[in-house]
Amino acid sequence: MAAIPPIDDTTKALDLTVRGFLFCLRRDGEDRLTLSAPHLEGYGAITVDWASADVQRRIAGGRKQLLTKAVGLHKKTDANVFDGTAGLGRDAFTLAALGARVTLAERNPVLLALLRDARRRALAHPALADAAGRMTIVEQDSTAGLDIAKGHDAIYLDPMYPDDGKRALPSKEMQVLRDLTGGDADADALLAAALQSGVARIAVKRPSKAPWLAAAKPSLSMEGTQARFDLYLR
């Protein structure tokens, strides 16, 4: 991605051209950083909001849902989880709200800015502050090596699935992310980096029926209604 100007708490408005598309970062009336992609007509602006009904519904799913089982949070309620593909931080926040300490790695600078903005706001929100305090956001390309994940109980990976034209369109937010990042065509390398890190538990979220990452057979898979979790256990 081309160099972009620094984005921080003082950023009010910034227009960026990425991969030939215009993206607009704006600060809204509630001091939230938002991202819109005018070429995707009719799509509203994205903001990372962990107080949203969607995230709160995920948290209400508790420690018996597949995501938490995949990272082992049902057995160790304060597990240290390394999320190597943070995105909008919804899975990471869900895990943190359910007791995990989570390191979130993201390589895209625009998404990093949205994540940092969300954490800043969450720390000031009485119902979100505890969980946000258990989250650490790092700028990192996880395919470059996951030595920094050493010492965590689990690595969690949720790369985007490339557009092969055969699947239903992803959510509007994921379409914006895909145009912004180009999709995660190098996702196979994520698993290699995770396996080399020595972390005992690696959980990969895949669309149902998608092939295994790097064609590597997992120790076990858990099928959900909307996704599958492949587990690589040492």
Q: Residues interacting with ligand SAM, by CB under 6 A?
A: 84-85, 87-91, 105-108, 111, 140-143, 158-160, 177, 181, 184, 190
Q: How far is the CB of 41 from ligand SAM (least distance, A)?
A: 22
- Produce one character per residue of 45-82: b if its CB has 16 or more CB atoms within 10 Å, e if not: ebbbbbeeeebeebbeeeeebbbbbbbbbeeeeebbbb
Please give the residue whose beta carbon sits closest to ligand SAM in the complex: 87
Q: Nearer Cβ to ligand SAM, position 105 or 131?
A: 105
At 21, the amino acid letter reads F
Q: How far is the CB of 177 from ligand SAM (least distance, A)?
A: 6
User: What CA–CA distance (Å, rounded) separates 231 from 225?
Assistant: 17
User: What CA–CA distance (Å, rounded) separates 167 from 227?
Assistant: 13
Quote the radius of gyration of the chain (alpha carbons, Å).
17
Q: Nearer Cβ to ligand SAM, position 153 or 158?
A: 158
Q: How far is the CB of 107 from ligand SAM (least distance, A)?
A: 4
Q: How far is the CB of 27 from ligand SAM (least distance, A)?
A: 21
Q: How far is the CB of 212 from ligand SAM (least distance, A)?
A: 17
Beta bridge partners of 26: 13, 34
Q: Nearer Cβ to ligand SAM, position 108 or 153?
A: 108
Look at residue 200 and give its three-state secondary structure: coil
Q: Nearer Cβ to ligand SAM, position 98 or 177?
A: 177
Q: Which two structure tokens, joined as six digits, stand for 231?
A: 């587990």
Phi, psi of 94 (to 5 degrees): -60, -45
Q: Nearer Cβ to ligand SAM, position 91 or 230?
A: 91
